[in-house]
Amino acid sequence: MESNSILLWLIIIIPALAAGLEALMGRKRPQSAGLAAIVGAAITLGLVLVLVWQVVQGEKLMAWSGQLYADGLSALVVLVISIVGLAATVFSYRALRGAVAAGKTAVGRLPLYFSLDALFMCTMLWASLTNNLIMLYVVVEATTLASALLVTFYWKRESLEAGFKYLLLCTVGITFALLGCVLIYAAASPYLGGHQAMLITALAPVVDKFPRELTLLALAFLVVGFGTKAGLVPFHSWLPDAYSQAPSAFAAFLSVGIKVAAYALARVLTIFYPEYSGIGLLVVALGMVTMLSGIVFAFAQDDLKRMLAFSSVSQIGYVMMGLGLGSSLGYFGALYHFLNHALLKSMLFLCVGALVYTSGTTLISELKGQKGKSALTAICFFIGALGIGGMPPLNGFWSKFTIFLAAAQSGMWWATGVAVFTSLLTLTCLVRAAYKVFLEREDEHEEPAAACENTQNQPAVALPWSMLGMMAALAALSVLIGLSPNLVNQLIAPAVQSIMYIAVGG
């Protein structure tokens, strides 16, 4: 059942308005920066919940004569974006003021932060709601543009380098996605006409008429383009730099950015599965390489944020593997993991933000044995580490287990093997880091001077309730999702259906 709805417009416009308000009010009252962004994100989440409710009931919402479109898949993605967006924005309110107190940035720059934060939310929501092939490129690139100046927010040499790499690689990469989209559009327009050929949902019935070489070239461009933005190995080199240099609270939100690119890839690529079965295999292989090399790099990191970033690379590999399998079980696992990982990883980044707030550093070697860390941060971090590591009965276990099963069901035992192995490595890597940071006592002989110096610079402070609350809320949500399969099924089954529906040309 398809119906027109103003909801889609509102979901995009409200964060944009919040961004505008932040920029306007920030000139006069920079000290109140963040309020408009928080209110905007809260209203957006409310609207998204209504949208999700309607979609779960079996409706498909449209606006702008089909240019905006929400089915189960987009509903899942906008839900993830708005939950993490709200949590990260509320968390930022105090975290950024902590950064100002620590002398990392000035009060006058806070409105810029919250304005771009709201704009980033707007572009990501738009990217998940657009049904226009060319606009998909435009808005995915816009997410990069909105976030680039937040990666460089502290304006240090390293953050500038990270921002430059991020913007350059993602812009060039995504240009290839544009070429891919244009080639598909060019191939479809003789059959559908100029206007219809731009609508992603209209493509499936004519895919088999496209010239074969052209389609393969276009799909390769799409994989390279959206793959760069999604952080697939070997196009991932921007990701650890950008995540580790961005303010921790924003890194939590940025970690959803790669998932939007993965969504864009899934949206377009799955249309071609019935005709081009080899594409799925390529995606599985890419996912496998990505998951394994991501976690191997993660082991070598001393910076907690870089470690989490490489783990994100690794986890996006799982999502890709599930999507590549092309079976409904595979899609289910991939989307379930998409949800779990988004919640868990952004929660872990918020934990790092809390550690920065209290201890002033993100290096595992410096955090080790330091006092003044809150117990709740430790509990949340352990939930995140165990969840992403795939420890039952947490949510990460169920989604990974589904992906293992789906791979085995498709006869790809080698892929299952690699995925299980990577999962064990992930568990070791994250839990080891959590243990070092929170539980290990400092060795008497190991330069206590350095640690003391740090604690003097950054006196131990109590975490504000808004920061603790956001971490706890995301952690509770993850646990809840792990424990109630019915809730999960209601959310993810429509998303899986909408992929299958489009792929068979409904």
Partner 1 sequence: MSEHYSVIVGLSLALVVTSLLVVEVRHLKYAALAYFVQGLLLVAILVGYATLLPNHALYLWSVTVLISKAGIIPLLLWHYLKRMAPMETPNALGFGISLVIGVAVLAGFYWLVDGHMTWLAPVPQLAGEPYGTNLSVAFTILAFGLYALLSRRDTLKAVMGVCLIENAVHLSLVSLAPGLPETAMIGVVTDVVLSVWILLIIIKGMYEQVGSSDIREMAKLWG
Q: Which of 85, 225, 240, 322 binds partner 1 (CB under 8 A)?
A: 240
Minimum CB–partner distance for residue 424 and partner 1 (Å): 22
- Residue 155 binding partner 1, by CB under 8 A: yes
Cβ atoms within 10 Å of 3's Cβ, excluding its own:
10
The 305-344 contact track toward partner 1, x by CB under 8 A, reads: -x--------------------------------------
Q: Count Cβ atoms within 10 A of the Cβ of residue 325 and give its class: 0-12 exposed, 13-18 middle, 19 or more buried.
A: buried
HEC profile for 75-103? HHHHHHHHHHHHHHHHHHHHHHHHHHHCC
> Are 192 and 206 in contact, with CB atoms under 8 Å apart?
yes
The 73-92 contact track toward partner 1, x by CB under 8 A, reads: --------------------
> Are 491 and 56 in contact, with CB atoms under 8 Å apart?
yes
Q: Which of 168, 424, 460, 461 binds partner 1 (CB under 8 A)?
A: 168
- Residue 70 binding partner 1, by CB under 8 A: no
> Are 435 and 386 in contact, with CB atoms under 8 Å apart?
no
Two tokens, residue 179: 């070429």
Phi, psi torsion values for 156, nearest 5 degrees: -95, 170
Minimum CB–partner distance for residue 425 and partner 1 (Å): 17
Q: Which of 92, 228, 301, 346 binds partner 1 (CB under 8 A)?
A: 301
- Residue 160 binding partner 1, by CB under 8 A: yes
Q: Which residues ranging from 97 to 136 are in contact with partner 1 (CB under 8 A)?
A: 132, 134-135
- Residue 297 binding partner 1, by CB under 8 A: yes
> Are 286 and 260 in contact, with CB atoms under 8 Å apart?
no
List, edge to edge, every strand of the sheet that includes 68-70: 2-4, 60-63, 68-70
Give 25's contacts (C-beta < 8 A, 6+ positions apart): 32, 33, 36, 111
CA dist 504 and 316 (Å) reads 25
Q: Which residues ranging from 178 to 197 are in contact with partner 1 (CB under 8 A)?
A: 178-179, 182-183, 185-187, 189-190, 194-195
Minimum CB–partner distance for residue 113 and partner 1 (Å): 15
Closest CA to 414 of 265, 284, 323, 504: 284
Minimum CB–partner distance for residue 108 and partner 1 (Å): 16
- Residue 217 binding partner 1, by CB under 8 A: yes
CA dist 160 and 382 (Å) reads 32
Q: Which of 49, 101, 172, 461 binds partner 1 (CB under 8 A)?
A: 172
- Give the nearer residue to partner 1 in terms of CB position, either 213 or 444: 213
- Give the nearer residue to partner 1 in terms of CB position, either 307 or 451: 307
Is the bond leading into 15 cis (omega within 30 degrees of zero)? Answer: no
Q: Which residues ranging from 194 to 213 are in contact with partner 1 (CB under 8 A)?
A: 194-195, 198, 210-211, 213
Residues that bind partner 1 (CB under 8 A): 132, 134-135, 137-138, 141-142, 144-145, 148-149, 152, 155-158, 160-165, 167-168, 171-172, 175, 178-179, 182-183, 185-187, 189-190, 194-195, 198, 210-211, 213-214, 217, 240-241, 244-245, 297, 300-301, 306
